[in-house]
Chain A
Amino acid sequence: MLKKEINDLLTQTGNGTPMGEMFRQYWMPALLAEELPENDSPPVRVKLLSERMIAFRDSLGRYGLIDEFCAHRGASLWFGRNEASGLRCSYHGWKYDVTGQCIEVPSEADNSSFCQNVKLTAYPLVKIGDILWTYMGDPQKTPDLPEWEFAHVAPEQTYTSKRWQQSNWLQAFEGGIDSSHVTFLHSGGLKNDPLFKGAKGNDYNMNDTKPFFEVADSEGGLFVGARRNAEEGTYYWRITPWVMPSFTMVPPRGDHPMHGHFWIPIDDENCWAYSFDYHPVRALTEAERQAMLEGRGVHSKNIPGTYRPVANLDNDYLMDRESQRTGYNYSGVEGIAIQDSSLQESMGPIVDRTKERLVPADSGIIKARQKLRKAVIALRDEGVTPPGVDTAHHHVRSAAIVLPVAESFMDSCREAVSATPGTPQTTV
């Protein structure tokens, strides 16, 4: 249960809101690099933190993320012509470079300096891995570029997708640290999904449906450990890292690629779910990459030409009651990602947390909300940089491991949950 004012504090991310200011402390995914595939490719509408922008890649390969609307009459630059190192408004020909600086106003005299005084709001846009990242905060405080492992391994080792989720970012993110739903909602996926099935850890998962939980602080956020009975005298641990504000990883299964998410607010009632898979020491196989392209694992099958899932709230997520009845899919919805989004979107665009009835197994969520609240207030009241901005906090991994009952997962897994380039993941 959260008080309404705390729910509002954590779910509102527009400009000038405390949580919005916190998101503006971080480099965050703005769009996939595939959306701007080549120089002078068509501009793309981008809405983040309730701000509407246009992303484009100019003739020299520079990326820009600028206010969507022309300074002249407010027309959308999505209709613009991306040409000769700038984006030109189709209405009256005003032209802007990647910094938002107006560089041409055709109606003015040739030697006019008028355009020098016209500049649209612009944010940096940088390609790292498969993602174009932006930082929407104070330019004087621009942090170091992101160092997440999935974005820095070789291209053949990583794959990232995104999907539109019609809910506030917080309820989507909370699913990422909620280990106890996996045994139910995703039980079909553990048996059927090519990117999940076949791991020894799945047996432990399914044989013990009442895990114990440990929620441990980390410098960047939390580690949530879920412990299940394994062989005599041992526990099977699944360790989920969360780094503020919205990076999580799913504990690995066998030699499958590791995966995780970012949840990025579009506005207060929509977010992007960025989903990545990578293997730290080998290339993804053709079969793995194909499965990801088909929307298996943590990815989604999207409507061609869009990032909206084929199964969405307008078609009841293609609910299959026969699949539900037989248990092929526990909820009757196909796919890990859509199983999550269907239930999270059903809660309403911003779930009313004053009416929740949480249980101790929700301690990871309770603790994460508390840490978010404290960080937001510390930033607002004292200007304290929140956890997760420091790139040292990016060097985390999830892990799955069998340990003797007497061992603490945090003591035994310090290396396992640290992203050391070139070392394999710790997995069962």
Chain B
Amino acid sequence: MLLSSCARAATAAEAAYRIDAPIAPARAARVVALDGGAVGVARRVAQHPWASARFLVCEGIADGGSADGLLLRRIDGAPAVLSVELDRADVVVMIATEDGGAACASAIGRACAELGIMTAGLVLGEGFESAAAVAALRPHARVLLPSADESDVTELLTALRA
């Protein structure tokens, strides 16, 4: 029997025969800062060389709480529209430091659920404010890191090839 025909092919030597195709960026990520504390983090992380990640700031939401009412900006200050930003996105990473962005998170979470877009939430800091942020994000983030620090944002996006 050929070595490659059985499980014994799991050797370092056989690994050389694995197909070596280039890997495209796996994730079209949108990173949304939900409050003032998160904006600074997003700005710094955005300076890394990302493949396709886009960084946004959510400045609030109009009465009614619908996704169309989100006051969204690109990190460079240009106005943005959620539905446009989510077009072709496949993961949204929300960053929060307190619960002020709860309504925004809810609107983004609902929009992502409708479009089948994965959501992740990173809550930076500790204490009451971050606990409130965790509670606000929990229903809307399929993955939640409640005691994250700034490096977690970079780490997650790097791991996702964002």
**How many Å from the CB of B147 to the closest CB on chain A?**
4
- A363, B143: Cβ atoms closer than 8 Å: yes
Q: Which one of A72-80, A125-133, A190-198, A346-354 is at the B interface?
A: A346-354
B-side interface size class = 35 or more
> Given A217-B147, A366-B156, A410-B146, are A313 and B15 neighbors across the interface (CB < 8 Å)?
no
- A363, B120: Cβ atoms closer than 8 Å: yes
* A370 (CB) vs chain B CBs: closest residue: B155
| B residues in contact with A269, CB < 8 Å | 12
**How many Å from the CB of A184 to the closest CB on chain B?**
17
**How many Å from the CB of A229 to the closest CB on chain B?**
12
CA distance A411 to B156 in the complex (A): 25
Residue A362 lies at the interface, judged by CB distance under 8 Å to chain B: yes
* B21 (CB) vs chain A CBs: closest residue: A355
Q: Which one of B2-10, B36-44, B54-62, B72-80 is at the A interface?
A: B2-10
- B12, A348: Cβ atoms closer than 8 Å: yes
Interface membership of chain B positions 132-146, coded 1 if the CB is closer than 8 angstroms to chain A and 0 otherwise: 001100110111111
- B10, A360: Cβ atoms closer than 8 Å: no
Interface membership of chain B positions 6-29, coded 1 if the CB is closer than 8 angstroms to chain A and 0 otherwise: 111011101100000001001000
- A214, B145: Cβ atoms closer than 8 Å: yes
B91 in complex: contacting residue of A347, A349, A360, CB < 8 Å: A360
Residue A381 lies at the interface, judged by CB distance under 8 Å to chain B: no
Residues of chain A in range 310-324 having any CB-CB distance to chain B below 8 Å: 313-317
- A1, B135: Cβ atoms closer than 8 Å: no
> Given A269-B12, A408-B134, are A360 and B6 neighbors across the interface (CB < 8 Å)?
no
B142 in complex: contacting residue of A347, A360, A411, CB < 8 Å: A360
> Given A357-B26, A408-B135, are A212 and B10 neighbors across the interface (CB < 8 Å)?
no
| B residues in contact with A212, CB < 8 Å | 138, 141-144
Residue B115 lies at the interface, judged by CB distance under 8 Å to chain A: no
* A358 (CB) vs chain B CBs: closest residue: B159
CA distance A315 to B143 in the complex (A): 38
- B146, A360: Cβ atoms closer than 8 Å: no
**How many Å from the CB of B96 to the closest CB on chain A?**
14
CA distance A405 to B135 in the complex (A): 10
- B11, A370: Cβ atoms closer than 8 Å: no
- A370, B7: Cβ atoms closer than 8 Å: no
A-side interface size class = 35 or more
CA distance A367 to B91 in the complex (A): 18
* B29 (CB) vs chain A CBs: closest residue: A360
| B residues in contact with A167, CB < 8 Å | 10
> Given A316-B7, A345-B10, are A359 and B144 neighbors across the interface (CB < 8 Å)?
no
Residues of chain B in range 114-158 having any CB-CB distance to chain A below 8 Å: 118-120, 131, 134-135, 138-139, 141-147, 151-152, 155-156, 158
**How many Å from the CB of B46 to the closest CB on chain A?**
19
| A residues in contact with B91, CB < 8 Å | 360
CA distance A162 to B141 in the complex (A): 38
| A residues in contact with B142, CB < 8 Å | 210, 212-213, 360-361
> Given A1-B159, A406-B135, A410-B146, are A348 and B11 neighbors across the interface (CB < 8 Å)?
yes
Interface membership of chain A positions 262-302, coded 1 if the CB is closer than 8 angstroms to chain B and 0 otherwise: 00000001000000000000000000000000000000000
- Show 16 A/B contacts (Cβ-Cβ < 8 Å), sorted by A: A1-B161, A167-B10, A212-B143, A214-B143, A217-B147, A314-B7, A346-B7, A349-B10, A358-B159, A360-B119, A360-B143, A363-B143, A366-B155, A370-B151, A370-B152, A408-B134
Give the 3 A-B residue pairs with the shortest CB-CB distance, closest first: A313-B7, A360-B143, A217-B147
Identify 7 new A-B residue pairs, CB closer than 8 A, beyond the known A215-B145, A360-B156, A363-B120. Answer: A212-B143, A313-B6, A345-B10, A357-B26, A360-B118, A360-B160, A410-B146
